[in-house]
Structure 1
Amino acid sequence: MARECRRVIEISRRPYAYRTSHRLDELEFVQPDGTQLKLLLKDLRRSELGPARRVKPRLVHNPRREVEAYRVLADANLGTPICHNSGKHWLLLEKVQGVELWQVGELATWVDVARWLAAFHDHFASKPPSSVALLDYDAPFFRLWPERARRKHPELRRVLSGYDRVIKLLISQRRTLIHGEFYASNILVAGSRIAPVDWEMAGMGPGVLDLAALLSGWGDSERTAIAAGYRDVSSEVLSAAQLHLALQWLGWSADWTPPPEHARDWLVEALAAAERLGL
């Protein structure tokens, strides 16, 4: 994953204005030919999580996970950010000159992202990585979240009584490498290049979870159009994935609310998905 070492001179370092969770510094270098190079240094230690440290469940925090994800992605040639170097708790990443997908209003671009997602899932379904650092989106993982969400929202008790069906639907899907938080705020678009960032929840599981994250916030007709760029996914399976994502947000922490880029009424979304599933 590390690139060939070349002599460079660091000329500036400052906190990156658009950090999401972990500390992120923007570094500027001058290369031997005089050109400037901007990189991002991500500190993956739990102590550098900022406000998220208080509420992020320890069960999903592993500083090695994103390092491992970039190692796996390095040879896939899918346009993800280049990892120039890494250590036990840090990453030195390419600063992609793009815009976050949520700022893009053209539906065609979202369809292109869905096509990219299908190619990404196809690639790793046929070449599954093996790593203990990656999350395993299996039945025990899916069982974690209903009870955590129900403690905070007792009104979920009735609809979650049939949650085993949701788990069966999700674990019956093809397993592949998934991003885990494939929301528009974590996807950079640079021309025709699509470069997802923040692979902290990467793991092996059903690809429909990534598709459900991509579709969140859109109306029915837009969701149908975007999903068509991915592949045929049954409405039942998609609703199961949407319910899981909502419960995961609701179960994150008893005194936690999502950051602005993920600020939706997840309780309403959970109840709506449960209704579509007949729970």
Structure 2
Amino acid sequence: MDMNAFLEQSGLTKEALTHNAWELIPSLSGAIFVLLSGSLFYMITRRLIEAGLKRTPMQRSLIRITVRTVYKWLVILLTIIFALSQLGFNVTAALAGVGVLGIAVGFAAQQTLSNVISGFGIFIDHLYRVGDWVTINDHYGEVVSISLRTTKIRTLDNTFVSLPNSLVTNTSVTNFSEQGMVRISAKVAIPYAEDIEKARKVLVEAARHIEGIRRDPEPEVVVDALADSGVNLLLRIWIDNARQEQQFTFRLTELCKKALDEAGITIPFPQRDVHMIGK
């Protein structure tokens, strides 16, 4: 079937089609202009908003999410609605439809919305930042990314754990990096017969030779407990970077054993005294 036959069956003429096409051109031009203007508006305002927010205490991750996700999609949505209005669509009905759709999506994605709301809570409460070392839900590692839905941490085994933000806000979070320096302790026991002051001087002097620790506060040894088999001591040092916490913990534990061995101080084994009472 050729074009003329199709037009005849449809009750249309070439003149009518040409007239309608010419009438549509201004609407299409207006819609394209709105889309291009919306894109240009976003690119210009994004930089201005980011520059302004960076002067505030707001975290960089929250700025990026707010501007490049929330603000971006808001501009896209409004631009599409105004472009449709240029094509003759009812903007009021479109906005009402978006509202109804938003309610429907809210009911269908309650868990996702819970994670998003919790994500904003993490930023507002300053629980942690990218680069902080934390323990969340028994997972210890470095925070490598924070999104509106999840927090991703890298463990010491170089594995990545993604935690829903709703879980993060409903569990305890230990941040080892918030105040910068971190204290590390190593526990060691000495026999009751040994002099505590002698053991303290031996351990403190050995700790002072560890490279990379803080000199202020200085290393210290405190009595942790009077246990069944001996006196439990804690050797404490401070470091600047929480990233090195476990590395220094292992070194400190080994140092305690070597320093006490060189000083002739033994580490007691678990022991029990049994008294036999004759008949």
Q: Same fold (TM over 0.5)?
A: no
Which has the greater radius of gyration?
2
Q: Structure 1-normalised TM-score? A: 0.19
Q: Structure 2-normalised TM-score? A: 0.19
Structure 1 or 2: more helix by fraction = 2
Structure scoring higher RCO (CA < 8 A, sep ≥ 6) equals 1
